[in-house]
């Protein structure tokens, strides 16, 4: 490098000094440019060299290929997975990777919670089960699967950043699809997304942001057995929204034949319009804001067997019950319900009903004859109400007397004529826990020859009344209510 003279001293010609200063400045500029270019080149070289080709080696656990502690950036690439033998599945454990490596012919892949961002084209050859739950997926290529019809089960839940579902159009062989916890809004999804999924049995879209159900979106799912839309923000079920026609002879993927079940619990549904449903076996509407259900909301041809209306405290009109002749189970608990103001024939058309749950309500009196037409009724749950008295004929049936369990626990009964239950020829269990009944007339009670189980815990019953029953009935305890530190008979607290 050139040696430079010092700045001019006093007495030096002014013109010469200025020329030397200019030459010095030009030379230093060239030095700095060379230095900066060198830094940029070095940085670029280092950036390129950071990308790696990662070798994946299987650790075998119960014939499963486990890939542990794999860390890869967006720029990294993978060599083919090295595996010995023929494992059925691959599992990524404690990994942090941007995209999946090419997956060879395999039955299942578990790649949940590994910070996946995308799945590129030609990632999978043949695969049956894929779990990519709880990642950060933003994109799944429409060509990610070489043989898309081979995929039977896909778990996507917990990927709220995934918004493009075009890849689903090719997955016509799916039988189980999990799309829970994804912040989904059905209005923003193509209505034909599920159009080709004629084999789909189970669809889980719970815990999303669904406020409405587009009419026709689910209608192509002729093999559907279970649709979970619980814990969303749905406000109304419009006519035809869940009118799915199940194909003849359809059966579960696991070989069991059942009809369609809907879980619509924990939404904000206030109105269900006529013909909202077409085929249904069970509908769960627990914890909504129902104020009106159309008389033909469930279609009078549907084979609805189980209906859960619990925790809908504003529902007052039950005319739709007259059009459910196949209903077996009806849950009307926690509804602030009482018989006051309702016609005595409100249950008359439920000839197939076997179980009726009216617990945790505001019932003060059970009208005589209210159950008279329920010729198939086996159990009545009336616990946690305000009932004070049971009259003769309350549980009488017009045609058949099949009631085998009555639960009147935790009411306000203080005096009871036990002969009321004698005409019930098939009654096996009578529960009267938590009432203020001071005595039990054993002679009256055991006149019912079919009675086997009797519950009278948390009451004021006398000990010797219970002793009189021991040789005839099994004393039933409430769950975890065995008493040992106070006067008791077989763990049931009593008054000496």
**What residue spans define the domains of the chain?**
48-153, 184-247+258-324, 328-495
Task: Classify burial at 440, counting beta carbons within 10 Å of its beta carbon; exposed 0-12, middle 13-18, buried 19 or more.
Answer: buried
pLDDT at 300: 59
pTM: 0.86
pLDDT at 256: 37
User: Strand pairing partners for 453?
Assistant: 429, 474
Whether 466 contacts 489, CB under 8 Å: yes
pLDDT at 52: 81
pLDDT at 339: 96
| Assigned fold of 328-495 | 3.80.10
**Low-confidence spans in the chain with pLDDT less than 70:** 1-51, 82-86, 248-258, 300-302
In angstroms, the CA 181 to CA 158 distance is 5
In angstroms, the CA 5 to CA 361 distance is 103
Our CA angle for 410, 414, 415, nearest 5°, is: 130
Among candidate residues 205, 217, 216, 212, the one with its CA nearest the CA of residue 234: 212
**Level-2 CATH architecture, domain 184-247+258-324:** Alpha-Beta Horseshoe (3.80)
pLDDT at 402: 86
- Cβ neighbours of residue 473 under 8 Å, at least 6 residues apart? 445, 446, 451, 452, 453, 454
Distance set, CA 35 to CA 2, 40, 152, 167, 203 (Å): 17, 9, 59, 50, 62
pLDDT at 29: 61
3-class secondary structure per residue, the chain: CCCCCCCCCCCCCHHHHHHHHHHHHHHHHHHHHHHHHHHHHHHHHHHHHHCCEECCECEEECCEEEEECCEECCCCEECCCECCCCCCEEEEECCEECECCCECCCCEEECCCCCCCEECCCCECCCCEEECCCCCCCEECCCCECCHHHCCEEECCCCCCCCCCHHHHHCCCCCEEECCCCCCCHHHCCCCCCCCCCCCCEEECCCCCCCCCCCCCCCCCCCCCEEECCCCCCCEECCCCECCCCCCCCCCCCCCCCCCEEECCCCCCCEECCCCECCCCEEECCCCCCCEECCCCCCCCCCCCEEECCCCCCCCCCHHHHHCCCCCEEECCCCCCCCCCCCCCCCCCCCCCCEEECCCCCCCCCCCCCCCCCCCCCEEECCCCCCCCCCCCCCCCCCCCCCCEEECCCCCCCCCCHHHHCCCCCCCEEECCCCCCCCCCHHHHCCCCCCCEEECCCCCCEHHHHHHHHCCCEECCCCCCCCCCCCEECCEECEC
How many Å separate Cα 263 from the centre of its chain? 8
pLDDT at 206: 98
- The strand pair at 292-293 and 329-331 is best described as unpaired
Tokens of 154: 């896909």
Whether 230 contacts 203, CB under 8 Å: no
In angstroms, the CA 393 to CA 460 distance is 26
Whether the domain at 184-247+258-324 and the domain at 328-495 fall into the same CATH topology: yes
Whether 351 contacts 325, CB under 8 Å: yes
């Amino acid at each position: 490098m050139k040696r430079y003279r010092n700045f001019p001293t006093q007495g030096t010609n002014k013109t010469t000094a200025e020329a030397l200063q200019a030459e010095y400045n030009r030379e230093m500029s060239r030095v700095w440019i060379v230095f900066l270019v060198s830094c940029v080149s070095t940085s670029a070289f280092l950036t390129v060299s950071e990308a790696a080709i990662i070798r994946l080696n299987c650790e075998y656990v119960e014939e499963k290929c486990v890939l542990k502690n794999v860390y890869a950036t967006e720029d990294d690439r993978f060599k083919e997975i090295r595996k010995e033998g023929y494992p059925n599945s691959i599992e990524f454990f404690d990994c942090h990777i941007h995209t999946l490596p090419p997956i060879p012919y395999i039955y299942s892949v578990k790649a949940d919670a590994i910070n996946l961002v995308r799945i590129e084209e030609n990632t999978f050859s043949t695969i049956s089960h894929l779990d990519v739950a709880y990642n950060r997926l933003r994109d799944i290529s429409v060509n990610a699967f070489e043989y898309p019809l081979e995929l039977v089960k896909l778990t996507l839940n917990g990927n709220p950043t995934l918004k493009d579902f075009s890849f689903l159009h090719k997955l016509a062989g799916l039988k189980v699809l999990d799309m829970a916890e994804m912040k989904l809004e059905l209005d923003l999804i193509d209505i034909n997304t599920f159009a080709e999924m004629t084999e789909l049995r189970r669809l889980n879209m719970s815990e999303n942001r669904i406020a409405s159900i587009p009419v026709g979106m689910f209608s192509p799912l002729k093999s559907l057995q279970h649709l979970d839309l619980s814990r969303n923000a749905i406000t109304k079920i419009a006519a035809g929204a869940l009118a799915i026609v199940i194909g003849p002879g359809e059966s579960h993927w696991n070989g069991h034949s059942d009809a369609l079940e809907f879980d619509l619990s924990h939404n904000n549904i206030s109105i269900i319009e006529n013909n909202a449903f077409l085929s249904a076996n069970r509908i769960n509407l627990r914890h909504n804001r129902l104020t009106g259900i159309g008389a033909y909301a469930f279609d009078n041809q549907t084979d609805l067997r189980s209906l859960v209306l619990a925790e809908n405290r504003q529902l007052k009109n039950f005319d739709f019950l007259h059009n459910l002749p196949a209903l077996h189970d009806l849950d009307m608990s926690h509804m602030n319900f009482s018989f006051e103001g309702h016609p005595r024939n409100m249950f008359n058309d439920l000839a197939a009903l076997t179980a009726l749950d009216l617990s945790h309500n505001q019932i003060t009196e059970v009208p005589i004859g209210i159950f008279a037409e329920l010729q198939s009724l086996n159990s009545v749950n009336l616990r946690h109400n305000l009932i004070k008295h049971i009259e003769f004929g309350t549980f009488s049936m017009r045609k058949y007397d099949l009631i085998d369990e009555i639960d009147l626990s935790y009411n306000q009964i203080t005096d009871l004529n036990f002969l009321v239950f004698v005409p019930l020829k098939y009654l096996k269990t009578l529960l009267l826990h938590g009432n203020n009944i001071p005595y039990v007339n054993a002679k009256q009670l055991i006149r019912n020859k079919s009675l086997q189980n009797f519950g009278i815990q948390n009451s004021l019953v006398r000990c010797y009344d219970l002793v009189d029953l021991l040789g005839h009935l099994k004393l039933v305890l409430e769950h975890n209510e065995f008493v040992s530190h106070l006067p008791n008979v077989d763990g049931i607290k009593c008054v000496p």
